[in-house]
Amino acid sequence: MALVRHVPMSLFSRNPGYARLLSASAVTNLGDGVSALAFPWLATLITRDPLLIALVGAAVRLPWLLFSIPAGVITDRGDRKQLILRSDWLRFGLTLGVIALILSVADFPPANGGLYIAALAGLAFMLGSAEVLRDNAAQTLLPSIVQPDDLEAANGRLWTVENVMGHFIGPPLAGVLIALALPLPFVLDAASFAIAAVLVGGLAIQTREARVQRSPVSEAREAWTWMRAHPVVLQLALMLGLLNGLSIMGMTLVVLVSQEILGLDAAAHGLLLTAAACGGVTGGVLGPKVIKRLGQGRSLWLALVMFPLPMFAIALTSSPFVVAGALFVESVAALLWNIVTVSYRQRMIPDDLLGRVNSVYRFFGWGGIPIGAVLGGAVVAFFEPSLGRELALRLPYWGAGFGMAGLAIYGLRRLRI
């Protein structure tokens, strides 16, 4: 149980299944952290076109816009544990497809790079589709395993472990593995999905009572009706969508900033991303304490004020140390926001609606990510001829910073939780 040794045992003793779920999340997020560096790095070996690279990033997030609401209906209808298992095994198979794609390339960059980018984007889209179902089921499953009074602590520890594995260990490990052999990061990613599936398979969860099933449209409409009757939840979803869309405008292209402005190789880029992990750990550990001291509303205000700062910093600097600090602050703010909003939803939403309302929430909250990713790449491609490559790469961060500053002003005036 080395993965979770730092978590207080009282949390485990009160919630026996939590340790296994936490360990599964740790393993799969290690794989996700490795692929988070390996996927865009692989794309840059195929092409240097910022729009094509952004399209690969958008492909993995597009399913959140297309399939979030159907996934919520499926989650509330089906066995949530089985949904997680099937999704992880599907991701295992798809990652083997990425390995096969790499092995099919005789030399980088390939002559028909557009074809390989299309294939990579297709695999990324299918992986993202499985992730939509898996993550919605997993977040919906947590209140069945953890007592209500433990939700902040459980969510905080969960995101701490996820950030350590996904950002602190995964990216630098990916850099080392890429230096050894390009397929190796994806081999580890595939193995992580298999191990996580085995861990989740051992969870003992009480079978949920069957409910009367209506048409998928009626069930989705019921979730939308509930959300409209709880305007704070809808407000949070819309704000999250704008925050995510603005953030991903720059973060999709951070691999090009790292290579072309900061002058980093794969291993150094992996180390740079560990700064985000440190911020995630800090936010996960201190977040519940900050929330307890400031309250939910003021904690969200603090997160909103912090969000624009990293974007402006990256727009202005050519120092990897400043960028590392910006990624640290961005992760602290994101963890603080997530702990408040997810715990709030898990308490507020009835269990028989939890999957569907979460899916509608994520439709708005995550649907902006593929739009922001494509927009960031398009901005760079459009302005590069007139402004030059470096200034064009900085523009998405300026746009994100001013947009987030506007959201912070709105939140301070109108957000009340």
Answer yes or no: are the C-beta atoms of 200 and 67 closer than 8 Å.
no
Q: Is the pLDDT of residue 216 over 80?
A: no
pLDDT value, residue 268: 86
Domain range enclosing 177: 15-205+217-414
pLDDT value, residue 67: 85
Q: Is the pLDDT of residue 7 over 60?
A: no
Residue 2 confidence class, pLDDT cut points 50, 70, 90: very low
List the one residue out of 204, 216, 236, 212 whose CA is nearest residue 349. 236
Q: Is residue 2 part of a domain?
A: no
- CA–CA distance, 414 with 417 (Å, rounded to integer): 10
Whether omega for the bond prior to residue 109 falls within 30 degrees of 0, making it cis, is yes
| Contacts of residue 17, Cβ cutoff 8 Å, sequence gap at least 6 | 145, 203, 204, 205
Residue 78 confidence class, pLDDT cut points 50, 70, 90: confident
Phi and psi angles of residue 404, each rounded to the nearest 5 degrees, phi first: -70, -35
- CA–CA distance, 287 with 289 (Å, rounded to integer): 5
- CA–CA distance, 194 with 24 (Å, rounded to integer): 10
Residue 281 confidence class, pLDDT cut points 50, 70, 90: confident
Phi and psi angles of residue 415, each rounded to the nearest 5 degrees, phi first: -85, 120
Q: Is residue 364 part of a domain?
A: yes
Min mean pLDDT across 4-18, 20-34, 80-94 is at 4-18
Answer yes or no: are the C-beta atoms of 92 and 197 closer than 8 Å.
yes
Residue 65 confidence class, pLDDT cut points 50, 70, 90: confident
**Coil, helix or strand at residue 183:** coil
Q: Is the pLDDT of residue 54 over 90?
A: no
End-to-end C-alpha distance for the chain, whole angstroms: 37
- CA–CA distance, 296 with 316 (Å, rounded to integer): 32
Q: Is the pLDDT of residue 156 over 80?
A: no
Min mean pLDDT across 249-258, 267-276, 399-408 is at 267-276
H or E element, residue 187: helix 184-201
Q: Is residue 8 part of a domain?
A: no
Full-prediction pTM beyond 0.85? no
Q: Is the pLDDT of residue 167 over 50?
A: yes
- CA–CA distance, 44 with 38 (Å, rounded to integer): 10
Cα 397 vs. chain centroid, distance in angstroms? 19
- CA–CA distance, 354 with 80 (Å, rounded to integer): 12
Q: Is residue 306 part of a domain?
A: yes
Distances (CA, A) of 67 to 89, 92, 136, 224: 19, 20, 11, 15
Q: Is the pLDDT of residue 3 over 50?
A: no
Phi-psi category of 65—alpha, beta or left, where left has phi over 0 and alpha has psi -120 to 50? Answer: alpha
Q: At what angle do helices 351-387 and 231-251 cross, to 10 degrees?
A: 30
Q: Is residue 236 part of a domain?
A: yes
Q: Is residue 5 part of a domain?
A: no
- List the structure tokens of 116: 């390989």
List the one residue out of 87, 38, 109 whose CA is nearest residue 273. 38
> Rounded mean pLDDT of the chain?
86
- List the structure tokens of 343: 């715990």
DSSP state of 105: -
| Contacts of residue 373, Cβ cutoff 8 Å, sequence gap at least 6 | 54, 55, 57, 58, 61, 248, 249, 252
**CATH number of the domain within which 259 lies:** 1.20.1250.20
pLDDT in tens, 351-396: 778 878 888 888 888 888 888 988 998 999 999 999 999 999 999 9
pLDDT value, residue 233: 92
Residue 406 confidence class, pLDDT cut points 50, 70, 90: very high
- List the structure tokens of 57: 């990033």
Q: Is residue 1 part of a domain?
A: no
Cα 193 vs. chain centroid, distance in angstroms? 16
Q: Is residue 69 part of a domain?
A: yes
Question: Structural domain tally of the chain?
Answer: 1
Answer yes or no: are the C-beta atoms of 312 and 401 closer than 8 Å.
yes
